[in-house]
Structure formats: structure tokens, C-alpha cells
A and B are shown apart, each in its own frame.
Chain A
């Protein structure tokens, strides 16, 4: 595999991203470094490269959460039987870099709670029930123009032990690789208009409303399917990739 030193990525603006120490989000208090990050002035191939997943073999429903979890996987899906309960939605969007260039064939992964806000995870003991037909995990590669697409149900909000009465807004966790480990990003998609967004301590780890806007999926009636499901559009922007024109000799 040839090493490609011939690129770099736009510097990450760490005042735009949440800081490590954000005491309103209590878990961050003991999990944030107290020392400054050490900046690599000249990133190496270690940072400028990353995995590509075109040869990761996926199942036919890996991006379809309405179909990819069944209590009885062998059973045929007949009528409403076997479908999860909740608001049927398409979540889709485009992965581009900061210069607007599409990021094709990159891995987008997502996970979420069910319509009642309950995660299918050993550690989640919230009293809202599991949905026997909902797992809550999806993945896909972007296409050649950078588009990705999932079909799922809209997740519910849920309480969590932070303040006395803290609730997460409805959200879908989203993970994107991009062209290198420098562009690696995990974020959360929130839903346009959700009144829990401005009072969430995790959302409030961001300093600006402008940055919060980058995490909000927008209702997209044009891409919804009549009599079937609504659509939310969520574009992801990863760090801009530049060519290195002159290097030191």
C-alpha cells in the first residue's frame, strides 16, 4: 500500500467542538484530561491514512432497522407482523468535507434507542419496554456521490442520571470514518424542533448555537414516502482534505 504523504487535513477547531471538561455533563468531570493536547505539527502517514471498508461484507438489511432485527429471524414478515412500533422514518444525507467535496464509499454507522427511549443493551434498565422487533443498529457505505441512507423508527427521549430530572432529546448516534483517522467523527443527530435540545447538558457541551445546528436533522417532505414514512436529512461534514503543494526538502 503506497504511503500518501501528499495530503493534509484542515485543522480541527477545538473551540467549535465541545471541550473535554464540561461540568454540566457530569461524567466529563473525571474523564477529561487536565493536560493540554500535544499537537503533532507535521502529521505522518499514521494520522493521514485510515481504513476503507468497501470489502466489508454487509447484510442486505444492515441499513434498514425496520427489518434487521426480528425475535424470530427465520419468520417471514407478514403485514404488520414483525415490524417495530414507532414513527417510521428515513434518515439520509450526504457526507462531504469542509470544501463541499463528497466523501464516497465511507462507512457510516448509527445506533439508537427504540420508540420508547429504551436501548437494546445489557446495561439499559429503563422501565420503558424493549421492542421485540427492534435492535437499533445500522451501517452502510456512502455511495459514489457521498450519500447514505437508513430506514428506522424515530427514537424516544429518555431520562438519565445527570441532574435530578435530565432527559436526552430524541437522538441517533452517528459514526463516520471519512478518508483517514484524522476525519474520524462520532456525533449525534437530533430532530428539528425538539424542545429538549436546548436543555440537554450533552448538547450544551457545545459553545455555540451555530455548532448545535450542525447536529440537527431536518424534516424533508420531499424525500418522505406518502402513506409510508417521513424523512429526515442529516448531512455530515468531515475535515477538509488538501493536497500538500510544497514540502520541505
Chain B
């Protein structure tokens, strides 16, 4: 190790391991069912909440679209969200009624759509103490994506909270903020469904964050 006070502030002891694309077969490792592999004892997947979980059970769906307007049918997405009370449940446990973490994927078989069964998240505070609007953090991995793309999903029936959200307002262009807002629609069996298409490039390009 270097001596204290002799290390230039611009220099860190270690560099982060470099990122690489998850590639076309990411499902083998992280979404076994999609790849056609038998499940293990427990898998991390897209049912983040059971019907008994606190809060409003919702379905969140969407597609991923490339710069040519074509569906990306091999994307892998991770979700991280607060529970209905605005708290992150860090301890992943499939015996719990709700988990803050989930995974989903787009495939040819699902018509290029990803989906999550979850509850609508509660509000979480920004570091300045102001409440952020309810949101789900999404990370998009796929062939052709060299380092994951981080975005957020907001809800179109949270108009006032969205308008006051410090993170949404950090996006300079009001038009681009709209790319983060999922549309509420009628789901199957009367369940509330929200749809957010993620556009990787070009017209209507989704906002992606660095943090």
C-alpha cells in the first residue's frame, strides 16, 4: 500500500474491473427459464410481490427498442425499488411477501416484452430531504450494450409528485423527462398495469443516468 499523504488525490489504489456486454446468452446465467435450463432451488425472477404484500399489486411491462425502431428481444433487466412504504428491502428472501429486487427479460417468445409483478413503490427521500416521486430503478443489459444502462420508471398517475421530483427535474429537457413515465393501462383481470418502452437510441430516446 502507498503511504498516506503521498498518494496524489487523482490516483486510486485499484481500478474497477472493466465492464463487458452481457452478450446474447445472458439468460443461461441470470434467467435460466428463458434459456431453457431447469430451475435451481431458488431463482431471482420477476415476481417481486405476492398478492399478500402491502400496497397495490401492479404489473409493469414494456419493450426495449433499438435505434432502428426494432424490438430488442434479448434484453435482460434488473429492477430495484422501495416497498409500498418507501423502504428498500435489502434482504432478498423468496419467503418474504415482497422483494425490492427483481429480474426480467425480453424474448422472442414474449413478443419482445418484459414484465414485473410488483407493488407500486412508496416515496423515498432525496439526499436534500425532498421526496422523490415513486419510481423503480431499472438497469438494462443486453448484447450490444457494453455497460448497463441505468434508468428509472415513474408513473403517469403521480403527476404532482413527478412535477416536484428532484431527479426528474435534473433532466434538463422537459420532453425527455416524459421518456421515464410509464402509462397506466388496464391489465388482465382488472389488475393495474403500467407500460414503459425503453428506447435505446434516437427519437424518443430514454434518459439514462450516471450515478
Using CB atoms and an 8 Å cutoff, list the residues of chain A in contact with chain B: 1, 3, 5, 10, 12-14, 16-20, 22, 25-35, 37-47, 49-59, 62, 96-100, 109-111, 113, 119-124, 135-139, 173, 175, 181-182, 184-188, 202-203, 205-206, 210-212, 214-215, 236-240, 247-248
Contacts and interface: CB of A to CB of B under 8 A. Distances in A.
A215 B15 CA distance: 11
Contact of B135 (A27, A46, A110, A210): A46
A137 B32 contact: yes
Majority SS of interface residues in chain B?
loop
B80 A181 contact: yes
A234 B144 CA distance: 24
B66 interface: yes
B91 A42 contact: no
Majority SS of interface residues in chain A?
loop
Contacts of B176: 35
Nearest to A122: B36
Contacts of A236: 17
A186 B141 contact: yes
Interface of B: 1, 12-30, 32, 35-37, 40-42, 44, 66-68, 70, 72, 74, 78, 80, 82, 87-95, 99-101, 124-128, 132, 135, 137, 139, 141-150, 152, 167, 170-172, 176, 200-202, 205-211
Contacts of A182: 211
A119 B146 CA distance: 20
A35 to B, nearest CB: 5
B92 A56 contact: yes
Contacts of A10: 12
A162 B92 CA distance: 38
13 contacts: A20-B146, A32-B67, A32-B200, A54-B91, A98-B12, A99-B13, A109-B29, A119-B28, A137-B29, A173-B25, A215-B20, A240-B14, A247-B127
Contact of B17 (A19, A62, A238): A238
Contacts of B29: 109-111, 136-139, 173, 175
Given A50-B101, A173-B20, 18 more contacts: A10-B12, A12-B16, A18-B18, A18-B146, A20-B146, A25-B21, A35-B205, A38-B209, A39-B210, A43-B211, A46-B135, A58-B40, A98-B15, A111-B29, A119-B28, A185-B16, A187-B17, A215-B20
Q: Which of A53, A58, A100, A238 has the most CB of B within 10 A?
A: A53
Given A35-B207, A111-B28, A187-B18, A20 B92 contact: no
Nearest to B21: A202
B112 to A, nearest CB: 14
B144 A27 contact: yes
B211 to A, nearest CB: 4
A75 B148 CA distance: 40
A5 B135 CA distance: 18
B174 to A, nearest CB: 13
Contacts of B36: 120-122
Contacts of B93: 55-56
Given A33-B205, A52-B92, A57-B41, A214 B15 contact: yes
Contacts of B30: 109, 111, 175
